[in-house]
Amino acid sequence: MTLPLTTTLSSCARAATAAEASYRVDTPLNPARGVRVIALDPGAAVVTGRLAVQEWTSARFFTCSGDAGGVVLQGVGGVPASLDEQLTEADVVLLVATEDAGAGCAYAVGRACWERGIMTAGVVVSEGFEAEHAVAALRPHARVLLPTADETDVVELLSALRA
Amino acid sequence: MLRKDINDLLTQTGPRSPMGELFRQYWIPALLAEELPEDDCPQVRVKLLSERLLAFRDSEGRYGLIDEFCAHRGASLWFARNEEGGIRCAYHGWKFDTTGQCVEVPSEADNSSFCQNVKLRAYPLVKIGDVLWTYMGDPATTPPLPEWEFALVPAEQTYTSKRWQQCNWLQAFEGGIDSSHVTFLHSGGLKTDPLFKGAKGNEYNLNDTKPFFEVADSEGGLFVGARRNAEEGTYYWRITPWVMPCFTMVPPRGDHPIHGHFWIPIDDENCWAYSFDYHPVRALTPEERQAMIDGHGVHSENIPGTYRPVANMDNDYLMDRDAQRRGAFFSGIKGIAIQDSSLQESMGPVVDRSKERLVPADSGIIKARQKLRKAAIALRDEGTVPPGVDPAHHHVRSAAVVLEQKESFLDSCREAVRVVPGTPVASV
């Protein structure tokens, strides 16, 4: 015999208890597939240089030179890297800027990410008016943009993304 | 993803916890004014920040928020008599005034001073707008009263409701700054809800399901801008302010009233969602007010005589699979408020954030958590007054605007997101 639903605790009430939470599947989540952090200007390179020495699961850090027509990446220690190869293994690209000098690079990287369907985020670490230009430069290319005076925002974002 | 120790820090708001101390820096909603409608009316149990309290209104119209339990034997004062300027315990007749001071112990001699040394913990309770506000921190550092616009406009221009939500305050609050869920979870409501429908901005919402986000600091917290494509060369921006610790506003739609929320911890597994609607330049129409009472917009239809929604976890939120299939309600649940609460409660009383898989579109949530954590630690370690205590930080509005693509939402909307009394909101 099937009991009428009204005689039993509803499925939502039962499922939402702390006790039921202990039965959740406990398989660890995979880390992010690949996060690439690209500094767009010398000030940003200083910021990402400090971050690169921390322990990350999948994050890789680069500086960027060039213009809207094409860019050259350099990894930690100045090792050259191909943007195309790095994007092949990436699912998030984080662009870091401190002023607007990297607008051309932002365009080139942003366009490459767009073509590959890769999520782009931009963090502009700056105080004062120089940030306005950097934000404007990144706006067309970053699906998420954080203007901030606090460089630990980059750490928070990367940590939250399991980078 | 959030480590367990940080999740604990952000979600635990009892006495002496860092986040509990943070909440105790602010004036927060304690109950609706309608819950104490007249002098000597029945008292109300109030649980806030894991403290069991009792609210009452004495014979002189004074409001009190005191320890729920009598100092004598610990009986609940919910059973007490509210009479002649105080509340008298039903057990042995001890009487307390709105400051928690014991004013009479019948078993003592008439000239005894015994009761002068008996005082219950009490907090101030002040009516501003439709809400009774309390401050549960150190009396020596009581901040100025709150200055939220929804509570200061004339009574005919504002309406506030509340509902019990059966989960931790943080997971409820995070829905308030998570603009990307609107396009999915609330898609049905944009077309049909009487407090949302008809706005030009709704078309932009529904036509562009992949918004861009910008998250910017403000003096009191954050502005979260969600950008969607509008006409050629323009973007539609929806700007959501968050003021610490738990005030958010929803960007407006056309000339509809503007709305927002407070999420107030009851304890670590329950919270109150206070939801308000107001119009800064005109009275709410009878139809609008009735729609709010009926549970449309951000409000809920509650079980009469309670603040528990009719659709709740005990009846599976009145899930309607047929409506879900038809697309009337994306989740099968009716009503914006219950669409949110059903999913937030489904996470469990306190969600384990170490198992999240966040994406960059969650940056508003990531940033808000960071600011809360830093503020709680700065308060604990250095006594730093957190953002949002200063009433100047309360003078914010949400906005919904169409801007040229080259424009910055913060630069272009600097005035639009500030309260200028008597002026309309910026809305499309």
pLDDT in tens, B203-258: 998 888 888 999 999 999 999 999 999 999 999 999 999 999 999 999 999 999 99
Q: Mark yes or no for CB contact B370/A153 under 8 Å.
A: yes
What's the confidence (pLDDT) of residue A8? 56
Question: HEC string of B302-369?
Answer: ECCCCCCECCCHHHHHHCCHHHHHHCCCCCCCCCHHHHHHHHHHHCCCCCCHHHCCCCHHHHHHHHHH
* Residue A152 dihedral angles phi and psi, to the nearest 5°: -70, -15
Torsion angles phi and psi, residue B30, rounded to 5? -105, -40
Distance from CA of A22 to the nearest CA of B (A): 10
Percent of chain B with pLDDT over 90: 89
Please answer whether residues B243 and B252 qualify as being in contact, where contact means their C-beta atoms are separated by less than 8 angstroms.
Answer: no
Closest alpha carbon within chain A to B406 = A136
Of the listed ranges A147-156, B33-42, B231-240, B375-384, the least confidently predicted one is A147-156
Looking up tokens 């605790």, which residue turns up?
A: A9
Q: Do B367 and A156 touch (CB under 8 A)?
A: yes
The residue of B367, B372, B414 whose CB has the most chain A CBs within 10 angstroms, and thus the best one to mutate to test that interface, is B367
Q: Are strands A92-97 and A35-39 parallel, antiparallel or unpaired?
A: parallel
* A8 reaches B (C-beta below 8 A): no
Of all residues in chain B, the one with the smallest CA distance to A119 is B360
Burial environment of residue A92 by CB neighbours within 10 A (0 to 12, 13 to 18, 19 or more): buried
Give kind and range of the element (H or E) at residue B18. Answer: helix B18-23
Whether the CA torsion A41, A46, A50, A53 is positive or negative: it is: positive
Average pLDDT across chain B, whole number: 95
Question: B69-97 pLDDT, tens per residue?
Answer: 999 999 999 999 999 999 999 999 999 99
Q: A 13-72 residues with CB below 8 A of B? A: 13, 15-18, 20-21, 24, 29
pTM attached to this predicted model: 0.94
Residue type, B373: R
Q: Which helix (H) or strand (E) holds B5?
A: helix B4-11
Q: If DSSP states are collapsed to H, E and C, what string results for chain A?
A: CCCCHHHCCCHHHHHCCHHHHCCCCCCCCCCCCCEEEEECCHHHHHHHHHHHCCCCCCEEEEEEEEECCEEEEEEHHHCEECHHHHHHCCCEEEEEECCHHHHHHHHHHHHHHHHHCCEEEEEEECCCCHHHHHHHHHCCCCCEEEEECCCHHHHHHHHHCCC
* A120 contacts in chain B (CB < 8 Å): 360
Over pLDDT 70: what percentage of chain B? 100
The beta-carbon neighbor of B363 closest among A11, A18, A146 is A146
Instruction: Report the residue of A12, A27, A95, A152 to disrupt the B interface, i.e. the one with the largest count of B CBs within 10 Å.
Output: A12
Q: What is the pLDDT of residue A3?
A: 47
The residue type found at B34 is: E
Q: Are B346 and A15 a contacting pair at CB < 8 A?
A: yes
Task: List the structure tokens of A157.
Answer: 């974002």
What is the sign of the dihedral through the CA atoms of B323, B326, B332 and B334? negative
How many other CB atoms sit within 10 Å of the CB of residue B343? 17
Beta-carbon contacts of B121 under 8 Å, excluding residues fewer than 6 positions away, are B66, B67, B100
Strand pairing report for B234-243 and B27-32: unpaired
- Which residue numbers in chain A have pLDDT < 50? 1, 3-5, 7
Cis omega before residue B245 (within 30°)? yes
Distance of CA B286 to CAs A61, B157, B159, B274, Å? Answer: 59, 11, 12, 21
**CA–CA gap between residue B251 and residue B428 (Å, rounded):** 10
Minimal CA separation from B269 to chain A, in Å: 9
> What part of B 163-192 touches A (C-beta under 8 Å)?
166-167
B219 chain-A contacts, CB cut-off 8 A:
none
- Tracing tokens 């400090």 back to the chain, one arrives at A50
Give me the residues paired with residue B237 across strands: B227, B401
Q: What stretches of B89-237 show up as alpha helix (H) in DSSP?
A: 149-152, 169-176, 182-185, 187-192, 200-207
How many Cβ atoms are within 10 Å of B285's Cβ, its own excluded? 11
Give the whole-angstrom CA distance, residue B212 versus residue B228: 7
- Of the candidate ranges A71-80, B35-44, B138-147, B338-347, the one whose mean pLDDT is the lowest: A71-80
Q: Where are the beta strands (DSSP E) in B205-289?
A: 212-217, 221-229, 234-243, 247-250, 258-267, 270-278
- Cβ-in-10-Å burial (0-12, 13-18, 19+) of B192 comes to exposed
CB B387 within 8 A of CB B220: yes
- Residues whose CB falls within 8 Å of the CB of residue A156, separated by 6 or more in sequence, listed in order: B366, B367, B369, B370
Residue B61: other Cβ atoms inside 10 A = 12
Q: Which of A77-91, A121-135, B10-24, B392-406 has the lowest mean pLDDT?
A: A121-135
Q: Give CA separation, B93 vs B45, B56, B63, B118, in Å.
A: 19, 17, 21, 14
Bridge-based pairing of strands B122-123 and B270-278 is: unpaired
B362 Cβ under 8 Å from any chain A Cβ: yes
Place of tokens 């499922």: A15
pLDDT, average across residues B321-345: 94
Q: Does residue B397 or residue B211 have the better pLDDT?
A: B397
Measured CA to CA, the distance from residue B193 to residue B294 in angstroms comes to: 11
Predicted local distance difference test score (pLDDT) of residue B376? 98
For the four alpha carbons of A100, A102, A107 and A112, in that order, the dihedral sign comes to negative
| ipTM of the prediction greater than 0.90, yes or no | no
Nearest to B204 by CA among B169, B268, B251: B251
Angle between the N-to-C axes of helices B363-382 and B4-11, in degrees from 0 to 180, rounded to the nearest 10: 70
* Segments in B163-261 forming alpha helices (H): 169-176, 182-185, 187-192, 200-207
Q: List all residues of chain A from 118 to 147 with a beta carbon under 8 Å from chain B.
A: 119-121, 132, 135-136, 139, 142-147
**Each residue's pLDDT tens digit, B174-185:** 999 987 788 789
Distance from CA of B320 to the nearest CA of A (A): 14
Instruction: List the beta bridge partners of residue B132.
Output: B31, B127
Among A16, A21, A159, the residue with its CB nearest the CB of B166 is A16
Identify the weakest region by mean pLDDT among A121-135, B29-43, B298-312, B345-359. A121-135
Q: What is the mean pLDDT of residues B29-57?
A: 98
How close A97 comes to chain B (CA, Å)?
15
Q: Helix, strand, or coil here: B55?
A: strand
